[in-house]
C-alpha cells in the first residue's frame, strides 16, 4: 500500500499523559499536513511541513503540541500533558506541493479519559 499511513489508529490515554502519533506520507510528497477533527465537525488545520521545515502552525496548536518531520519523510505529532479537550481524530495528509490534491491517512482517534 503506497498511501498515507498513520499509527496508531486508536489511542486511549489518561489525562496528563503524553502521546505521540506517527504519519508516513506518500514517499515522493514534499508537503505534509496535520489536521484535527472533532465529532460532527470538519477537520481543522494544525500545522504543515514542506520537506523537513515546519512552515506554519495554527493558533489551535498550544505549547503542549509539537510536530517534527526529520529528514522530510515521516512526521510525528506529540501532545504533552493531555487534556480531555484533546480527544479528537488526528488526520495526516500529504501532497506533492502546495495547492495540490491532498491524500489523507486513516487518522488516529485519541480518547483522553
Q: In what order do the strands lie in the sheet with 65-68?
A: 5-7, 19-24, 75-79, 65-68
* Beta pairing partners, 12: 111
Q: Rule CB under 8 A: is residue 43 a binding residue for other proteins?
A: yes
Q: Rule CB under 8 A: is residue 39 a binding residue for other proteins?
A: no
Q: Distance between CA atoms of 19 and 11, rounded to whole angstroms?
A: 8
Residue span binding other proteins (CB under 8 A) among the ranges 18-26, 35-43, 67-75, 79-87: 35-43
Query: Which listed residue (20, 52, 89, 96) binds other proteins by CB under 8 A?
Result: 89
Which residues would be at the binding site for other proteins (CB under 8 A)?
Answer: 33, 35, 37, 40-45, 48, 55-56, 89, 91, 93, 98-107, 109
Amino acid at each position: 500500500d503506497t498511501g498515507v499511513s498513520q499509527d496508531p489508529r486508536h489511542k486511549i490515554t489518561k489525562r496528563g499523559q503524553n502521546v505521540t502519533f506517527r504519519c508516513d506520507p506518500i514517499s515522493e510528497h514534499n508537503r505534509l499536513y496535520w489536521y484535527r477533527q472533532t465529532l460532527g465537525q470538519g477537520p481543522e488545520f494544525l500545522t504543515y511541513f514542506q520537506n523537513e521545515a515546519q512552515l506554519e502552525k495554527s493558533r489551535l496548536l498550544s505549547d503542549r503540541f509539537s510536530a517534527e518531520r526529520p529528514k522530510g519523510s515521516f512526521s510525528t505529532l506529540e501532545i504533552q500533558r493531555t487534556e480531555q479537550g484533546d480527544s479528537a481524530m488526528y488526520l495526516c495528509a500529504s501532497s506533492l506541493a502546495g495547492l495540490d490534491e491532498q491524500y489523507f491517512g486513516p487518522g488516529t482517534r485519541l480518547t483522553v479519559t
